[in-house]
Structures are given as structure tokens and as C-alpha cells.
Amino acid sequence: MAFYEKDVKYGEPASEKLEDVTIERRGSTAEQVVELSQIEATAASKAAWLLSVTVSLGGLLFGYDTGYISSVLVTIGSSLGHELTSSEQELVTSLTSGGALVGAVVAGFTADRYGRKLPIWLACIVFVIGTIIQTAAFSISQFAVGRFIVGLGVGSAAMICPLFISELAPAKYRGRMVAFNNMSVTFGQFFASALGAAFAQAPSSQAWRATVGIGAIPAILLAGLLVLCPESPRQLVAHGRVDEADKVLLRLYPTSTEPQRRAKISSIELSIHEATQTMVDNSIWKTLKMIFTTPATGRAVFTACFVMAISQLSGFNTLMYYSATLFKIVGFNNATGVAITVSATNFVFSLVNLSIVDMFGRRKILLVTIFGMVVCLVVAAVSFSYIPIDTHTLEVQSDEIGWPGYLLIAVIILFVGFYSSGVATIAWIGTELIPLEVRAVGTMLNTVTCWSTNIIIASTFLSMMKGITPSGAFGFYAAICFVGWIFVIFFFPECKGMPLEAIREVFAHGFGVKYANQWQKENKEFAKANKQVAFGH
């Protein structure tokens, strides 16, 4: 570690020492990158996983909200004064996405200046307030306001939690730890769907309120447990709190030596160059300008945002928001019960991603699963063409479901399996591609992409089903997924196992697909050393 100790004095301000090492860093070889990250080859503590599990409760907020609205839409009846029209269903569904977009932007403003924990606390408070307003609603306007406020909390948590986890996670477990956050999303959707189906059988027409109200529990739990979580070591270094960063690294890597932690802190300082003060002092507008005027940074953020857009525009969330409605359209009497199958599949296959994302890498998984999604959506479009549906009322014109209905269910479940084991999680792991000096704002853009495209899907699905027929709607989603598959082939680099400080070099070489592949080959020994370390010491 002489290379780093020679040029960087532990605890000095980054701005005073980075200039002398810039040339050496730019000329760094793969061996020097490995030397820089020797701490990654030490055993990660159980605390690292416990922290990941705790922060992942933020994903549960997201999942529960998207999960319960499906069943509520078909059981709410006239509780808000009258039966909801298709337009009103689209409104109350998309309002949460609109609130989430605003919440993500607000979190982006505060994440670098005030750290990662404060925005999550605020998100929990806002989520509880919105849940109370919804639960007590007796008018469409009050329910809509509650949906928007809940969205503010969901958007903030959805933006900060994957970012927070990626900065706390050891490189060898980063994919799985961020994937655990997505698993929390899918569990929340499954749990909400199951509760919604159970309360749908209740004799009271107001039982849906219990489904909504229970959503406040994970927010309260997360707010309490967050007290036990440390701040991100990268944030601490950026704010000059190096001693605290050292303590956090020791907590994450209990068998690491002081020189290893010193090298890791130095690598963080080196990776952000002169941008340490930029992160703390610059306005969000200057940071945005940096993203759009620095080619390598712009490519990194664009890649993350494009994959996120594909994950939303694929049409998956139509199944989360409208699965019960969709199956009711097709002709199933117990639509909420059938919809549970979608949520259960989503949850199970998120576990699959959790086990394979760091083994096979992001790129290979995306190539296989997105292509599978394309095939499923095409088959779904064909199946719909054989189902007699009145496009004006979206009601099936037959008393029998028949083979097209059963085929549709089968391919939708298969589609959900491909989606959940691939792009659903990897879209959030995409924060690893974004350089540290713009990571909070870049992650904000990634999250804004999520919710803005989510709004498009949530607010247009039923209208598209009426306007261009169900076959046309699902064919449209298939075309979008095919474009995403082509993008991954040519522009998505494989960054599994790479230290965050090394990933920034990938997009200095175009979109870095070839460079990243070469890095993986040259650092097989580094990856092998990571795998050989026992976990939990």
C-alpha cells in the first residue's frame, strides 16, 4: 500500500493532497486498484447485513403501497361517496407516483448536504401522515391528498435507501444487499396483496381501511431502528469527518487493519478528486451542470436512468396497480385472489435475483430476462386478441374464461418472474454506476426517472386498453422492452465486484462495455480472494 501512503496523509483535507496524486491515479493499473481495495478482501461483519436489512424497510414502504392499491380499487366500492370511474382510478393510482417524484427531488436536495439518514427519517414521518389521511378518507379528494402525501415519503425512501445501502455494502455483497432492498419491495407487495384479498372477504365494506392503515407500521419501525445505523462512510469523508468514517469501516470490516482502512479512506478521497467540497457546498444546479457537461459522468447517469426507464415502461406496474382489475376484466370472479399469484411470483423471483446477481453479474441477467419479458408480452398481446372484451367498458363479453385467459395468466406470471429476477432489482443497483461526487443528485435523477415513467404507466393503462385495445397496449410494452434489450447489448457494462472507486473509470472509456469486461478478466484473482473470505467474522 506504499503507493497510497506515500502521497496521502490520513486525515488531511482532500483538497490539499489530491493534486499531487492525480497523475499517478489516472495512470493506475488494475493491480493498484486491487491494492487500493484490500479491505474488501477482509471478512464483512454481520452488522453489514443487519444494516442492509434495516434500511431495506424503506423498500417495504414502496412495495406495500403499490401492493394494496390493486385490491383497494376493486373493494372500495362507494366508500368515498360513489363508485370510482376509470379516470378516478387512474388519478388516485398515479398521484402516489407524482408525490414520489417530488419526494425524490426533495431527497436529492438534502442527501449530500445533510447525509443519508435525515431524508429517510423525514420520509417515514410523511408516509405515516399520508396513511392516516387515506385511512380516514370519506371523499375522493381526501383520499387523493393522502395518496400524494404517501408518495412523498415513498419517493424519498426509494431514492435514498438503495444509495445508502450501496455505500455501506462491501463490494462483494453490494449487488445482493441492494437486491435485498428490492426483495423488501416485492415482499411488501405480496403482503399487501394477501391482506387485501383477506379483507376483501370481510362483511364490512370499510375493511379496505385496515389494509391501508397497516402500512404505517414499517415506517414507524424504520424510523426507530435508523437510530442504530451509522452514516455512510463516503458521506463522512466528504464532510471531513474522517475519524467517524474509520469507526464505521471498522464496524463493517472488523478484521481489517488500520492501514487497510486508511487506504480505503484515501481511495474515497482520491475517487472524488477535488469534488469533496463540491458535494458539500455546491448547489444542486451546479451538480446537475456537472452531470450534463462531463461526458463520462453523463454517460454513467444516462445508463442508470435508461435501465430504470425500461423497468417502469415495460408495463410491470400495471400488474401491481391493476392486477385485480385486469383479472376481473379477463373474467375471473375472485380477481384479488388471482392477483396474489402475481405478487407471490414477484417476491419469489426477487429471491432468485438475490442469490445470482453477484454470481452471474448484472449484464448477463439483463440480457436473458429482458428478452424473456419481450416474448411474454408478445404472447400476452396475442392472447388478448382471442378474448372478447368490450373496449368501451373493459368488460369481458363471455361467461367462460377459456384457454386464452389461462394462457394470459401463465405468460403474465412468467413475465413477472423474468422481471423480478432481472431489471426490477438491477435498475436500483444502477446507483453503483454513478460517480460519488454526483451520486445523490444522479440517484435523484434515477429515481425521478422511475416515478415519472411510473406516472405515465399508471395514468394511461386503462385508457390505452380502451384506446388501442389490450393487445395493442401489451404489444407497445413489448416494443419498449425490445429497445431496452438492444441497449443492454451495446451500452451496459458489467461492474459486478468492482469497488465503487474503480467503477468511475469505466465510463471514461465510452460506455465502457469492453473496458469493464477487460477489468473483470484482469482482476479474477481479486474476485477470487473476495469469495474465499468467510462471512460474519
Please write down the HEC assignment for all residues of 53-73.
HHHCHHHHHHHHHHHHHHHHH
Q: Residue 532 falls within a domain, yes or no? A: no
Kindly state the DSSP code that residue 535 receives in the 8-state scheme. Answer: S
Instruction: Report pLDDT digits (tens) over 294-341.
Output: 899 999 999 999 999 999 999 887 776 666 666 666 656 666 666 677
Q: Residue 225 falls within a domain, yes or no? A: yes
Confidence of residue 275 (pLDDT cuts 50, 70, 90): very low
Q: Residue 403 falls within a domain, yes or no? A: yes
Instruction: Report pLDDT digits (tens) over 352-391.
Output: 888 888 888 899 999 999 999 999 999 999 988 887 777 7
Residue by residue, what is the 3-state secondary structure of 346-399? HHHHHHHHHHHHHHHCHHHHHHHHHHHHHHHHHHHHHHHHCCCEECCCCEECCC
Identify which of 315, 73, 351 has the alpha carbon closest to the alpha carbon of residue 185. 351
Identify which of 151, 5, 122, 147 has the alpha carbon closest to the alpha carbon of residue 72. 147
Identify which of 255, 261, 331, 283 has the alpha carbon closest to the alpha carbon of residue 108. 283
Q: Report d(CA 377, CA 60) in Å as an integer.
A: 27
Query: What are the phi and psi torsion angles at 159 (to 5°)?
Result: -80, -45
Q: Report d(CA 516, CA 509) in Å as an integer.
A: 9
Cell of 520: 473483470
Enumerate the β-bridge partners of residue 389: 396
Q: Report d(CA 371, CA 366) in Å as an integer.
A: 8
Instruction: Report pLDDT digits (tens) over 252-272.
Output: 888 888 888 888 888 777 765
Q: Report d(CA 136, CA 185) in Å as an integer.
A: 25
Total count of domains within the chain = 1
Strand ranges inside 221-301, DSSP E:
none
* C-beta of residue 446 within 8 angstroms of C-beta of residue 434: yes
- Position 27 pLDDT exceeds 50: no
For residue 213, the Cα-to-chain-centroid distance in whole angstroms is 24
Q: Report the pLDDT value the prediction gives residue 392, as an integer from 0 to 100.
A: 76
Cell of 506: 469505466
Distances (CA, A) of 268 to 24, 274, 451: 15, 11, 30
Q: Report the pLDDT value the prediction gives residue 325, as an integer from 0 to 100.
A: 67
Confidence of residue 511 (pLDDT cuts 50, 70, 90): very high
Helix (H) or strand (E) run with residue 435 in it = none
Written as one letter, the residue type at 396 is: V
- Position 6 pLDDT exceeds 70: no
* C-beta of residue 156 within 8 angstroms of C-beta of residue 122: yes
Q: Residue 216 falls within a domain, yes or no? A: yes
Q: Report the pLDDT value the prediction gives residue 30, as an integer from 0 to 100.
A: 44
Instruction: Report pLDDT digits (tens) over 105-150.
Output: 888 777 777 778 888 999 999 999 999 999 999 999 999 999 999 9
What is the C-alpha radius of gyration for the chain, rounded to an integer number of angstroms?
24
Instruction: Report pLDDT digits (tens) over 392-428.
Output: 766 766 666 678 878 888 898 899 999 999 998 899 8
Q: Report the pLDDT value the prediction gives residue 536, as an integer from 0 to 100.
A: 38
Q: What is the mean pLDDT of residues 510-522?
A: 88
Q: Residue 271 falls within a domain, yes or no? A: no
Q: Residue 517 falls within a domain, yes or no? A: no
Place of cell 424519498: 156
- Position 226 pLDDT exceeds 60: yes
Residue with more model confidence, 225 or 287? 225
Q: Report the pLDDT value the prediction gives residue 334, as an integer from 0 to 100.
A: 62
Cell of 528: 477470487
Q: Look at 231-235, 513-517, 519-523, 528-532 and tell me which has the smallest mean pLDDT.
A: 528-532
Q: Residue 277 falls within a domain, yes or no? A: no
Residue with more model confidence, 215 or 43? 215
Q: What is the mean pLDDT of residues 223-247?
A: 85
Q: Report the pLDDT value the prediction gives residue 365, as an integer from 0 to 100.
A: 95
Instruction: Report pLDDT digits (tens) over 38-70.
Output: 676 676 677 788 888 888 888 888 888 877 887
Distances (CA, A) of 232 to 12, 32, 44, 193: 19, 24, 16, 34
CATH number of residue 396's parent domain: 1.20.1250.20
Q: Residue 276 falls within a domain, yes or no? A: no
- Count Cβ neighbours within 10 Å for each residue of 266-285 and write b for 16 or more, e otherwise: bbbbbbbbebbbbbeebebe
* C-beta of residue 161 within 8 angstroms of C-beta of residue 181: yes
Report the mean per-residue pLDDT for the chain: 80
Cell of 146: 393522502
Q: Report d(CA 319, CA 473) in Å as an integer.
A: 13
- Position 3 pLDDT exceeds 60: no
Q: What is the mean pLDDT of residues 179-189?
A: 84
Residue 196 domain boundaries: 46-234+284-503
The size of the chain, in residues, is 537
CB atoms inside a 10 Å sphere around CB 388: 11
Identify which of 493, 469, 235 has the alpha carbon closest to the alpha carbon of residue 364. 493
Q: Report d(CA 100, CA 274) in Å as an integer.
A: 32
Share of the chain above pLDDT 70, in %: 81
Written as one letter, the residue type at 493 is: P
